[in-house]
Amino acid sequence: MVRRIASLWSSSIGKKALMSVTGLLLIGFLVLHLVGNLQLFADDGGKSFDAYAAKLKSFGPLLYVAEFGLGALFLAHLALGLRVTFENRAARAQRYALERDRGARSFASATMVVTGVIVLIFLVIHLLDFRLREMAPDGLAAMVVRRLSEPAGALIYVVGVAALGVHLSHAFRSAFQTLGLSGKGWDTPLARLGKAIAIVLGVGFAMFPLVFFSGAKKASHQASLEPARPIHAASDVTTEAIR
Amino acid sequence: MSSSHDTHASHAAAPTHEKKHLALTLHVWRQRAATSEGKFVTYKLDDVSPDMSFLEMLDVLNERLIANGEEPIAFDHDCREGICGACSLTINGQPHGFERETTTCQIHMRRFEDGQTIYIEPFRANAFPVVKDLVVDRGAFDRIIAAGGFITARAGSAPDANALPIAGDVAESAMDAAACIGCGACVASCKNASAMLFVSAKVSHLALLPQGQAERSRRVLAMVEQMDKEGFGNCTNESECEAACPKGISVANIARLNREYLRALACGD
Ligand code: HEM
Ligand code: FES
């Protein structure tokens, strides 16, 4: 029994299965994260987004448990991804002088570790930006908008999420193959769904830096600094209520 | 010479009726022994018949080398009709060359162009060490088979045909998997030198059939364990193996192998 569980970490298929499960769970988190972030586009000067953030904070210890879980998933995926990559490089010590593929592999499949490491670097910056920094007095939404309006900020976020999109365009269907959940008529639908998820998440997250940097959303953010519009009053009340 | 050509002219796939002999530049990997340094050696051939197979072209070159008192090029071959899987070469960076679902021994020189340069390298993978020149040791595959690629069967007279009913589509899938000739092109073409396509074909073939059920779980666990011990890489689902396989083995078998393995871990005996 113990040996079997250990095989998940040590055997080639076990490692890949763990990578798939951790990767798919991370994709699940990203979908929720994107949906939550959409509130940044609400025309209320960030009130509903800040309320959402406050709501999450209000979960207290539960939030830490969730964050710890996410971190563990990410670190496990990362460690296995690097290990698999190094083992695979090592499996052919003497390389071909001339190597030509047959067009089955894709740009995404050939660059998984590269896009993965870009996502890792991006994630560190992202956490430093919004999670590990002290909350600005004007709220998290304002912090986000400020950061994504800077050229450097916008660039980092666009590159980070683009790498994520490329990673996922191979990852999703690959994960199903690894778990043995493909074959027969499922291959094409899974490949399409994978591409769709990669595009929705990649383009979805890229919208935030693009919109804020281009200034399309500045106006409403500035508007939030104007006093007393009825809608603000309303959302202030909800925010207060949650706190 | 020319009269024998004329008799074969109707088979020719070449666009022109008159079949020109080819001049070729070959860069061939030469390595005296497993432990020696290898290097490419260049050979020029100027009258290669387009009717020759690729291996016959190497035979001609070897006759010339022997006549000159040089060491002939060692390469693996046996049936020369695409069924044994012995011929293992990388032609211009592709195991078994560029033709789909074709073994090296089944490639004809008419598919090459006059004046072409051809790189001939052994299959490369730590698990397939070079023995000499283009010959690699694929004993790792034998050890994987020995670990679990067998069934328990009653010895004695052969059972009646169709005594054991098997659904048509299942029999088809098992036969498709059984088409694997164990040539190792999947390993050679995989950027991770993974043996998953080979192992998946062998596991699928037996797991699909009623005769394979007795050892179903322990077979997949033992074969994967041996595969990992041999130093093959991990599958990253890029499907280059399927594209390179001379028998067109599908990566659907790899999904089945993964399923069989995880199932055996979870609830095998
Ligand atoms: C939120 C971030 C990430 C998500 C959602 C994600 C998701 C996935 C998924 C679902 C797979 C497919 C697994 C399989 O084929 O079995 C995968 C593969 C991979 N991931 Fe990630 N990943 C992320 C971050 C990273 C990071 C930071 C690395 C850093 C090394 C990384 C490296 C890899 C590698 C190398 C593969 C290819 C593994 C293979 O196909 O064998 N990933 N990823
Ligand atoms: S020599 Fe038998 S398959 Fe090529």
Contact B188, B95 (CB under 8 A): yes
Relative to the alpha carbon of A23, which ligand is closest? 1
Buried b (16+ CB within 10 A) or exposed e, B24-40: bebbbbbbeeeeeebee
CA of residue A157 to ligand 1 center, whole Å: 19
Report the distance separating Cα A19 and Cα B235, nearest Å: 12
Cβ separation B243–A110 shorter than 8 A = no
Q: Pick from A96, A110, A187: which is nearest to B90 by CB?
A: A96
Per-residue pLDDT at A217 = 63
The mean pLDDT of A130-145, rounded to a whole number, is: 92
pLDDT of amino acid B263 = 96
- The pLDDT of residue A228 is above 50: no
Residue B157 three-state SS: coil
Distances (CA, A) of A235 to A44, A146, A208, A219, B154: 8, 21, 22, 18, 79
pLDDT at position A187 is: 87
Q: Is the pLDDT of residue A240 over 60?
A: no
Q: What is the pLDDT of residues A7-16, one digit of tens each?
A: 999 999 999 9
Mean pLDDT of all residues in chain A?
A: 89
Of residues A236 and A100, the one with the higher pLDDT is A100
Give the nearest partner residue to A104 out of B125, B126, B238, using CB atoms.
B238
Q: What is the pLDDT of residues B22-56, one digit of tens each?
A: 999 999 999 999 999 999 999 999 999 999 999 99
Task: Show the tokens assigned to A57.
Answer: 């904070």
Q: pLDDT for A153-203, tens place per residue? A: 999 999 999 999 999 999 999 999 999 998 778 889 999 999 999 999 999
CATH number of B138-154+167-267: 1.10.1060.10
Q: Is B161:B172 a contact under the CB 8 Å cutoff?
A: no
**B74 residue type, one letter:** A
Q: What is the ipTM of this complex?
A: 0.89
CB B40 within 8 A of CB B28: yes
Asked if residue B56 has its Cβ within 6 Å of ligand 2, the reply is no
Helix (H, G, I), strand (E, B) or coil at B197: helix
How far apart CA B172 and CA B166 sit, in angstroms, is 10
CATH class of the region B22-132: alpha beta
Distance to chain A for B90, nearest Cα, Å: 9
Contacts of A84 (CB under 8 A, 6+ apart): A15, A16, A19, B234, B236
How wide is the angle at C-alpha B191 spanned by C-alphas B180 and A25, nearest 5°?
95
The reply to whether ligand 1 has any atom less than 6 angstroms from the CB of A23 is yes
Tell me which residue of A119, A117, A212, A213 sits closest to A165, measured CA to CA: A119
Rounded to two decimals, what is the model's pTM? 0.90
Residues of A in contact with B228 (CB under 8 A): 10-12
Per CB-CB distance under 8 Å, the chain B contacts of A87 are 233-234
Among the bound ligands, name the one nearest to the CA of residue B82.
2
Flag whether pLDDT at A224 surpasses 70.
Answer: no
CA angle B28, B33, B37 (to 5 degrees): 65
State in Å: Cα B120 to ligand 2 middle.
16
Q: Supply the pLDDT for residue B158.
A: 85
- Predicted pLDDT of residue A184: 78
In chain A, which residue ranges form alpha helices assigned H by DSSP? 2-10, 12-37, 47-57, 61-90, 107-110, 112-130, 140-149, 151-178, 187-214, 218-223, 230-242
What's the pLDDT score for residue A25? Answer: 98
Nearest to B96 by CA among B132, A102, B88: B88
What does the pLDDT read at residue B16? 52
Residue A230 scores a pLDDT above 90: no
List chain B pLDDT tens, one digit each, 269 residues: 344 444 444 444 545 556 789 999 999 999 999 999 999 999 999 999 999 999 999 999 999 999 999 999 999 999 999 999 999 999 999 999 999 999 999 999 999 999 999 999 999 999 999 999 999 999 999 999 999 999 998 888 888 888 889 999 999 999 999 999 999 999 999 999 999 999 999 999 999 999 999 999 999 999 999 999 999 999 999 999 999 999 999 999 999 999 999 999 998 77
Per domain, the residue ranges of chain B are: 22-132, 138-154+167-267
For residue A220, is pLDDT > 70? no
Task: Indicate the domain borders of chain A.
Answer: 14-87+108-242
Burial pattern B158-187, b for ≥16 Cβ within 10 A else e, equals eeeeeeeeeeeeeeebbebbbebbbbbbbb
pLDDT of residue A2: 84
Instruction: Give the closest residue to B45 by CA, choosing from B66, B67, B61, B27.
Output: B61
- B117-121 β-sheet, strand order: B39-48, B22-30, B117-121, B90-91, B94-95
Of A226 and B24, the one with more pLDDT = B24
Structure tokens of A96?
Answer: 């071909």
Q: For residue B181, give the ligand 2 atom closest to its CA.
A: 3
> Cα dist. A50→A73, A143, A147 in Å?
27, 10, 16
Measured distance CA(B15)–CA(A19) in Å, rounded: 51
Give the whole-angstrom CA distance, residue B102 versus residue B104.
Answer: 7
**Least confident window among A46-50, A153-157, A233-237:** A233-237
Q: What residue owns the CA closest to ligand 1's atom 12?
A: A171
Phi-psi region of A86 (alpha: psi -120 to 50; beta: other; left: phi over 0): alpha
Q: Which residue of A has its CA nearest to B94?
A: A100
Which ligand is closest in space to the CA of residue B185?
2
For position A3, what pLDDT does the model report?
82
Neighbouring residues of A129: CB distance < 8 A, sequence distance ≥ 6: A143, A147, A153
Does the CB atom of residue A144 touch ligand 1 within 6 A?
no
Give the tens place of pLDDT for each residue, A143-159: 999 999 999 999 999 99
- In CATH terms, A14-87+108-242 corresponds, of 1.20.1300.10, 1.10.40.50, 1.10.10.10, 1.10.3720.10, to 1.20.1300.10
Residue B1 per-residue DSSP state: -
- Min Cα–Cα distance to chain A from B163, Å: 28
d(CA B209, CA B256): 13
The pLDDT confidence band at residue A237, using thresholds 50, 70 and 90, is very low
